[in-house]
Structure 1
Amino acid sequence: MVAAVLPFPEISPEIFSVSLFGMEFALRWYALAYIVGILLGWLVARTALKRVRLWQDDQPPMQQSQLEDLLTWIILGVVLGGRLGFVLFYQPDYYLANPLEIPMIWQGGMSFHGGFLGVIAATWVWCHRNAVPKLPTADLLALATPAGIMLGRIANFINAELWGRPSEAPWAVVFPGQSALCDGLPCARHPSQLYEAGLEGLVLGLLLLWLAFAKGALRKPGLISGLFFAGYGVARFIVEFFRLADAQFITADNPYGHVMRVTDTLGITMGQVLSLPMILIGLILIAAGRRSWR
């Protein structure tokens, strides 16, 4: 039985579509979230670079003209890392049997943690090639990222995907589609996408902006990026208690999709496993940067 819950908003995943040469082309909210998120991140980064007094010794890590070049590398890192992360972390057996489907990103399947790793790798190589300091560059990117996370999670909600576990909370939502049913009947679920948008995007983003622009945190290399990694890891770890695990981890005797189990109902999910290294990386970045703080 469905309790008094919030109705799912009737928003189409497609903003609009057009037919050209017998083919259908559509602009989806998820694609728009990526585009607007990248633009907002770019604006935040440009603003921070222009304010030279925000940086240690009044030296921004790069020139304005270099930011556009780095952005190209980041986009490639997000796409390649996100796809390979999904393949390796979530469905390795399937893609081992169907390797030709690995490049088919239009079918869906991107890992946020994989995208993170892709951005780290791409940024590291770019910084090395251009002799740009790595920790201040990491701080700049960390400052620019939360807006995109927030928009991406809102798009997940509009797409009615990555929903939460069944819930009787008054703000729970009945998501459309057969796969959102519980034992064949409609059931209310946590809108965990919005939890992530709020914690990983809005709250974390506002905190980092306040520290950077009001408290001079960019003068301490590694602090902003360390807080971002650790903050995202903690927020994602918490939200995973309300988010439904990916379908491939859920079985009749493991309904919560735990990959490490203590009891039938207690354990941790793959999302939590992947969040723990992010917390550790954040602490390492802060510790590494402290040597140059003054």
Structure 2
Amino acid sequence: MIDYPQIRPEIIAIGPIRVRWYGLMYVLGFLTTYYLAPRLPKAKAIGLTSERMQDLIVYLAVGLVVGARLGFLIFYQYDNWSFYLNHPIEIIATWHGGMSFHGGFIGSVLAGWIYCRRTGLPFWGVGDCVAVTAPIGLGLGRLGNFINGELYGRPSTVPWAMIFPDGGPVPRHPSQIYEALGEGALLFAILWWMSRRPRENGTLVMAFLFFYGAIRFVLEFFREPDENLGFLWGHWTMGQVLCTAMMVVAAFLYLQRRMRRTLSVDVRK
């Protein structure tokens, strides 16, 4: 067993002003996207400049935060809505924790679509550029979860298991580290490699949907289910249900594109 490193969640705490590691990870993730995305070959081809990326980041940040919070309430608190209706301020109380990746993803997609509609940039091309760099932010976010001691893993006897402050006296998988490596480093390596060759707009978005869903689905077997939900249908977690939906959407988009391409060839004949 490895001792859990006791890292203060706050970097700076001066009176009511608190800068937390988790929030810093969000900022670093967006800065990475701002720096790397415009330098991708596809970004140059579609006209996604650093100036336009700066405006897009604002849209994505708002969409991410709003979507992540609403996603948490819809996907993970659906049995507790009466509490939020009686305490509406808690709906926006992100400082109490409670953010959903899947909700944040949906919010970011909608915000990106609005931005592309306003600027005339190709939605799927812009999505490809953002998708390549997004895993860096995801990996950093999981490190923030680890520092906060939240979203810890299931009980385990592996040599690197840890006792988390809020996880009871039982050693557990450091599943946040697994996710940082899988959803972050591994997913980034796959998408970065794919981005090196010219590909049809939307290909990297579909790859992100499928590979994130597959990686997260597997890693959910090491992560403790949400306390208020537990397991669904005997052995699935809510995360696995949502990741399955992501993979289904990716497969649907891929098959739809192949059918459209086949029909186009037939028409030409």
Shared fold (TM-score greater than 0.5)? Answer: yes
- 1:41-91 CA-partner distances (Å, limit 9, x unpaired): 11111211xxxxx339x7225343221121111011101100100111111
Matched, 1:13 2:9: yes
Q: Where in structure 2 are there 5+ consecutive unaligned residues?
A: 262-269
Aligned to 2:211: 231
Aligned to 1:245: 225
- Distance change >3 Å, CA 107–CA 164, structure 1 → 2: same
Matched, 1:157 2:125: no
- Is the Cα contact below 8 Å between 2:125 and 2:202 reproduced in 1? yes
Matched, 1:107 2:80: no
Residues of 2 paired with 1:64 and 1:158: CA distance? 32
Aligned to 1:212: 195
Deviates more, 1:204-213 or 1:270-279: 204-213
- Distance change >3 Å, CA 133–CA 287, structure 1 → 2: farther
With the length of structure 1 as denominator, give the TM-score of the two structures: 0.82
Aligned to 1:124: 113
Aligned to 1:258: 231
Aligned to 2:126: 137
After TM superposition, where is structure 1 displaced by more than 6 Å over at least 4 residues in a row?
none
Alpha-carbon distance, 1:276 to partner: 0.8
Task: Give the secondary structure class of the aligned counterpart of 2:11.
Answer: strand
Aligned to 2:71: 85
Residues of 1 paired with 2:142 and 2:50: CA distance? 29
Residues of 2 paired with 1:143 and 1:227: CA distance? 9
- Matching residue's letter, 2:145: N
Task: Give the secondary structure class of the aligned counterpart of 2:12.
Answer: strand
- Is the Cα contact below 8 Å between 2:116 and 2:123 reproduced in 1? yes
Residues of 2 paired with 1:165 and 1:149: CA distance? 21
Task: Give the secondary structure class of the aligned counterpart of 1:268.
Answer: coil
Q: Give RMSD over aligned pairs.
A: 1.9
Alpha-carbon distance, 1:123 to partner: 1.2
Aligned to 1:268: 236
Matched, 1:35 2:27: yes
- Matching residue's letter, 1:83: R
Matched, 1:187 2:174: no
- 1:97-123 CA-partner distances (Å, limit 9, x unpaired): 323121121211111110011011111
Task: Give the secondary structure class of the aligned counterpart of 2:142.
Answer: helix
Identity of aligned residues (%): 40
- Is the Cα contact below 8 Å between 2:175 and 2:219 reproduced in 1? yes
- Is the Cα contact below 8 Å between 2:66 and 2:104 reproduced in 1? yes
With the length of structure 2 as denominator, give the TM-score of the two structures: 0.90
Residues of 1 paired with 2:96 and 2:81: CA distance? 13
- 1:119-161 CA-partner distances (Å, limit 9, x unpaired): 1111122222222212111101101200000000011011100
- Matching residue's letter, 2:19: L
- Is the Cα contact below 8 Å between 2:2 and 2:162 reproduced in 1? yes
Q: Where in structure 1 are there 5+ consecutive unaligned residues?
A: 49-53, 250-256, 262-266
Alpha-carbon distance, 1:282 to partner: 2.2
Task: Give the secondary structure class of the aligned counterpart of 1:26.
Answer: strand
- Is the Cα contact below 8 Å between 2:38 and 2:129 reproduced in 1? no
- 1:180-223 CA-partner distances (Å, limit 9, x unpaired): 11xxxx1100111111101110011012112213xx1x432222
Task: Give the secondary structure class of the aligned counterpart of 2:99.
Answer: coil
- The correspondence for 2:81, drawn from 95, 101, 104, is 95
Structure with the larger helix share:
2
